[in-house]
Amino acid sequence: MASLTPPTQRLFDARGRELRYGGRTLVMGILNVTPDSFSDGGRSAALDDALANAHRLVAEGADILDIGGESTRPGHTPVSPDEELRRVLPAIEALADLPVPISVDTQKAVVAEAALRKGAAIVNDIWGLMGDPEMARVAATYDAGVVAMHNRASVDPNVDIVADILAFFEQSLERAARAGIRADRISLDPGIGFGKTFEQNLRVLASLAEFGKLGFPLLLGTSRKSLIGKVIETTPAERLPGTIASNVIGIMAGCAIIRVHDVAAHVQAARVTEAILHAA
């Protein structure tokens, strides 16, 4: 089996800048240029709004900007590659000179490649290189950062979800190695809310340290998700406290990156959590 040596305490973007995560959690700000995302659909669909929101997220302290042009919420309507490109490319091109790397949130290799050409540096793939067969090749060709997320085509309450995620990551990492993706370009996302029951999502959050033993940076994405609304009934807009709670748990378990809508609140929460951890 092809193998990757886990990286040291750093993660690189494709423009050669070093994103250190040892001791400081990286905050990835979410910018959905879609009309139908579950939490903020339509807020950044117009280019001017997208650019304004992007600059706000960076000013609030985002270390990475994650731009997505296709909603992946439960029951979403898939969009064509052309439509996804129409949504994301103008924003990526206009924001390419930001002082933080841009991540493109897509499961399509053709979208990833076009985004990387326009200035994106990271591919955030909800199928962890296991969906589109060309995704690993594209990431390797452009020396891009990769977020490999765990996903399942269907929910199975009887599956051992931790074992399933570990097996999935092993296959993702093998595919990355075969394609020539560098280890210091890869982070892993256990995929909260994707192909999992409520109970499985909770177990994943309680087991984050297990995934950290693989030696790769972990990204955690819980922002405003239904998991929080099932713990205490809330709308997506009301889930900031629960999101912060889950991300603090993630930081304490060693997560390197948190993917959030509310950047300023999470920068503060992350810095306080880190200060306490470092004082121990």
Residue positions annotated with a catalytic role: 225, 259
- The sign of the CA dihedral 265, 271, 275, 277 is positive
* Token output for 240: 């900031």
d(CA 193, CA 226): 7
CB 25 within 8 A of CB 248: no
Contact of 51 with 253, CB cutoff 8 Å? no
Q: Is 273 helix (H, G, I), strand (E, B) or coil?
A: helix
- Region of residue 74 (left: phi > 0; alpha: psi -120 to 50; beta: else): beta
